[in-house]
């Protein structure tokens, strides 16, 4: 009997203690949930998964809608930029359908990404007027001015329960390398650290408890921002580099999250803020793969998508060929780093053959999606080559071609895929001295060493021809011909004539420092 009394007393003590702890926790720690996406690139429909072949289709805003409906708590839904450029749904509507769907889903804010500028500032202004949420970018300024464009919203505060959340946006300072000059005429992209520091201080003065930065600067830059602004920021939700950060990175107390790309994941960050300590005291972080077996697409969202595309849907769904083997892209599979891509070989071979020139060059970052084994539709080529670049023909000397390849292997933004030549390089050597030899390969497979004094005819895309991705050598070309051949249209025409799509890695480039 005494044993039972002691046991009952112990249980009672534990229940009272647990209750007191719950009261203490509820009183002292105030929760807020952030749901976040980034780099959707117009992928508003579910797609076959590259990494997990046997899984159901992944992603899309219909699946995201179902995920949001299942949440038990209130949330703040945000995006970190590049919302529409990359699919026919995004491009044919110049972003309109994506923004309308984001309105429907209840987004509260989005950082501007570099691809928001691809159709120029007037289109961006129209999207801002359509959006029910603000476009943020504190380091976007009118040239030689302290003012911001009227389509950029200032940092602001969201009141959520007992908390005031300050939101700031920032975009990469590499914009002059990442889009056409006309798209950013009259703008400058100022120092992120300075602008965010000022914005955070202003928000604190207005009573913000938590400061959240929506960053389209890339993971490494986000780490630097967290290092420099650890006293100003609490959370960075980032994008631009398409990183799937399964676990958050904590940098000097700043919580950093990245949710991948193409609306394939929804990030959820549940933060518990202590007014007594004036900081986030605890958090829960998770990325949710938006698998359609787990989150069946919302039928209303799917209907909105279908109605927005109209007759274009029939054109996009036309089957034009068959892919015989999986072909990875710059963003999936083995596309990262200084690697040769089978898709890059396929694209550049088509470019070179179409104009009958010596060489062809394509930036790896322009090869946006893989081509998976199976039926090939017009839609797939729109996603593979979404930017609408046209072919540009020019003449460079052999010495200039060497310099071009040096730019490619010396830390530039996007490695070149090539046709008509092979080259060997060593990334362990100093920049400017990494290319060891360059071999010209003719149509019959004959190989000769490149002649520095000889002039060679080549083709590239209009983005690179204008110095995009930092490739300055292209701007030195002679006898430049701006063709009207759109890369995407060329590829579709080629497939109609050659419906069996196959390519392989052939050893066109070799890094002797590769491990």
pLDDT at position 413? 58
Question: pLDDT tens across 477-514, in order?
Answer: 999 999 999 999 999 999 999 999 999 999 999 999 87
Residue 51 has pLDDT above 90, yes or no: no
Regarding whether 281 and 425 lie in a shared domain, the answer is no
Helices (H), 297-341: 299-309, 312-316
Band the pLDDT of 19: cuts 50, 70, 90. very low
Regarding whether 498 and 413 lie in a shared domain, the answer is yes
SS (H, E, C) 3-28: HHHHHHHHHHHHHHHHHHHHHHHHHH
Q: Compute CA 479 distance to the chain's CA centroid, rounded to the nearest angstrom.
A: 35
Regarding whether 367 and 234 lie in a shared domain, the answer is no
Structural domain ending residue among the three candidates 279, 305, 331 = 305
Structural domain ending residue among the three candidates 305, 327, 343 = 305
Q: Which tokens is 248 given? A: 């958050």
How far is Cα 227 from Cα 229, in angstroms, rounded to an integer?
Answer: 6
Regarding whether 190 and 146 lie in a shared domain, the answer is yes
User: Is residue 417 one of the residues assigned to a domain?
Assistant: yes
Regarding whether 329 and 278 lie in a shared domain, the answer is no
pLDDT at position 3? 59
User: Is residue 476 one of the residues assigned to a domain?
Assistant: yes
Asked if 399 contacts 454 with a C-beta cutoff of 8 angstroms, the reply is no
Most confident of the ranges 9-13, 15-19, 196-200: 196-200
pLDDT at position 49? 74
Number of residues written out for the chain? 515
Regarding whether 329 and 301 lie in a shared domain, the answer is no
Question: pLDDT tens across 393-406, in order?
Answer: 999 999 999 999 99
Band the pLDDT of 180: cuts 50, 70, 90. confident
User: Is residue 86 one of the residues assigned to a domain?
Assistant: yes
pLDDT at position 73? 96
Question: pLDDT tens across 253-286, in order?
Answer: 999 999 999 999 999 999 999 999 999 999 999 9
Q: Which tokens is 7 given? A: 């046991």
DSSP codes joined into one string, 331-394: SSTT-SSS---HHHHHHHHHHHHHHT-SEEEEEGGG--S-B-SEEEEHHHHHHHSTT--EEEEE
Comparing CA positions, the residue from 271, 376, 238, 243 lying closest to residue 316 is 376
User: Is residue 310 one of the residues assigned to a domain?
Assistant: no
How far is Cα 288 from Cα 128, in angstroms, rounded to an integer?
Answer: 28
How far is Cα 417 from Cα 422, in angstroms, rounded to an integer?
Answer: 10
Regarding whether 323 and 270 lie in a shared domain, the answer is no
Say which CATH number the domain at 98 has: 3.60.21.10
Comparing CA positions, the residue from 230, 266, 287 lying closest to residue 78 is 266
**pTM exceeds cut of 0.75:** yes
Asked if 61 contacts 105 with a C-beta cutoff of 8 angstroms, the reply is yes
How far is Cα 231 from Cα 200, in angstroms, rounded to an integer?
Answer: 10
Segments forming the whole domain that contains residue 222:
27-305
Asked if 226 contacts 254 with a C-beta cutoff of 8 angstroms, the reply is yes
**CB within 8 A of 33, min separation 6: which ones?**
71, 73, 74, 75, 76, 268, 269, 270, 271
Band the pLDDT of 154: cuts 50, 70, 90. very high
Regarding whether 411 and 440 lie in a shared domain, the answer is yes
Q: Which tokens is 503 given? A: 């390519």
**Residue-averaged pLDDT of the chain:** 92
Say which CATH number the domain at 425 has: 3.90.780.10
Tell me which DSSP letter residue 40 carries. -
Structural domain ending residue among the three candidates 305, 340, 355 = 305
Question: pLDDT tens across 281-325, in order?
Answer: 999 999 999 999 999 999 999 998 888 887 788 889 999 999 999
Question: pLDDT tens across 202-252, in order?
Answer: 999 999 999 999 999 999 999 999 999 999 999 999 999 999 999 999 999
**CB within 8 A of 148, min separation 6: which ones?**
137, 140, 141, 142, 154
Query: What residues are paired with 250 via a beta bridge?
Result: 255
- Mean pLDDT value of segment 99-110: 98
Regarding whether 80 and 128 lie in a shared domain, the answer is yes
SS (H, E, C) 175-201: HHHHCCHHHHCCEEECCHHHHHHHHHH
pLDDT at position 54? 65
Return the exposure string of 274-309: e unless at least 16 CB atoms fall within 10 Å of the residue's CB, then b: eeeeeebeebebebbbbbbeebebbeebbebbeebb
User: Is residue 154 one of the residues assigned to a domain?
Assistant: yes
pLDDT at position 250? 98
Comparing CA positions, the residue from 154, 196, 203, 198 lying closest to residue 173 is 196
User: Is residue 10 one of the residues assigned to a domain?
Assistant: no
Question: pLDDT tens across 330-378, in order?
Answer: 654 444 456 899 999 999 999 999 999 999 999 998 998 999 999 999 9
Regarding whether 105 and 77 lie in a shared domain, the answer is yes
Regarding whether 323 and 405 lie in a shared domain, the answer is yes
Parallel, antiparallel, or unpaired: how do β-strands 254-257 and 235-238 relate?
A: parallel
pLDDT at position 170? 99
Task: Give, in degrees to the nearest 5, the angle at Cα 22 between 20 and 25.
Answer: 110
Backbone torsion region of residue 144, taken as left when φ is above 0, otherwise alpha when ψ lies between -120 and 50, otherwise beta: left
pLDDT at position 334? 40
Regarding whether 325 and 279 lie in a shared domain, the answer is no
User: Is residue 12 one of the residues assigned to a domain?
Assistant: no
> What Rg, from alpha-carbon coordinates, does the chain have?
26
Q: Which tokens is 449 given? A: 């060493």
User: Is residue 19 one of the residues assigned to a domain?
Assistant: no
pLDDT at position 22? 41
How far is Cα 287 from Cα 452, in angstroms, rounded to an integer?
Answer: 51
DSSP codes joined into one string, 53-119: TTSPPB--HHHHHHHHHT-SS--EEEE-S--SBTBHHHHHTTTHHHHHHHHHHT--EEE--GGGGTT
Q: How many domains are there within the chain?
A: 2
């Amino acid at each position: 009997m005494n044993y039972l009394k002691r046991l009952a007393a112990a249980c009672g003590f534990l229940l009272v203690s647990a209750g007191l702890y719950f009261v203490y926790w509820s009183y002292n720690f105030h929760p807020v949930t952030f749901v976040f996406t980034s780099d959707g690139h117009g992928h508003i429909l579910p797609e076959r998964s590259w990494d997990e072949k046997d899984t159901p289709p992944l992603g899309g805003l219909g699946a995201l809608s179902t995920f949001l409906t299942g949440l038990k708590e209130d949330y703040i839904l945000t995006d970190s930029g590049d919302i529409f450029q990359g699919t026919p749904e995004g491009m044919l509507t110049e972003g309109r359908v994506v923004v309308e769907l984001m309105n429907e889903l209840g987004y509260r804010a989005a950082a501007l990404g570099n691809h928001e500028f691809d159709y120029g500032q007037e289109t961006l202004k129209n999207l801002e007027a359509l959006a029910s949420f603000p476009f943020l970018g504190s380091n976007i300024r009118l040239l030689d001015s302290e003012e911001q464009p009227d389509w950029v919203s200032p940092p602001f505060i969201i009141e959520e329960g007992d908390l005031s959340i300050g939101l700031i946006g920032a975009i990469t300072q590499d914009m002059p390398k990442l889009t056409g000059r006309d798209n950013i005429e009259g703008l400058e992209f100022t120092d992120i650290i300075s602008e965010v520091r000022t914005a955070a201080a202003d928000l604190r003065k207005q009573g913000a408890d938590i400061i959240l930065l929506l960053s389209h600067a890339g993971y490494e830059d986000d780490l630097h921002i967290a290092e420099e602004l650890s006293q100003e920021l609490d959370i960075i939700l980032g994008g631009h580099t398409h990183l799937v950060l399964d676990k958050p990175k904590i940098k000097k107390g700043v919580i950093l999250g990245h949710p991948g790309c193409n609306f394939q994941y929804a990030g959820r960050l549940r933060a518990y803020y202590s007014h007594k300590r004036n900081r986030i005291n605890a958090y829960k972080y998770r990325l949710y793969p938006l698998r359609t077996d787990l989150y069946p697409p919302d039928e209303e969202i799917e209907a909105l998508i279908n109605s927005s595309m109209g007759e274009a849907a029939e054109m996009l769904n036309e089957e034009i060929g068959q892919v015989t083997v999986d072909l990875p892209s710059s963003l999936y599979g083995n596309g990262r780093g200084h690697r040769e891509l089978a898709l890059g070989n396929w694209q550049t071979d088509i470019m070179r053959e179409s104009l009958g020139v010596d060489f062809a060059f394509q930036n790896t970052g322009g090869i946006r999606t893989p081509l998976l084994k199976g039926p090939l539709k017009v839609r797939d080529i729109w996603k593979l080559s979404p930017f609408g670049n046209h072919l540009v023909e020019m003449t460079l000397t052999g010495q200039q071609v060497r310099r071009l390849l040096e730019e490619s292997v010396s830390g530039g933004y996007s490695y070149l895929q090539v046709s008509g030549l092979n080259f060997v390089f060593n990334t362990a050597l100093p920049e400017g001295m990494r290319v060891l030899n360059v071999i010209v390969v003719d149509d019959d497979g004959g190989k000769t060493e490149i002649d520095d004094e000889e002039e060679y005819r080549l083709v590239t895309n209009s983005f690179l021809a204008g110095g995009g991705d930092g490739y300055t050598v292209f701007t030195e070309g002679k006898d430049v011909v701006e063709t009207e051949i759109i890369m995407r249209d060329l590829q579709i025409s080629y497939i109609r004539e050659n419906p069996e799509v196959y390519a392989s890695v052939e050893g066109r480039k070799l890094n002797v420092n590769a491990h």
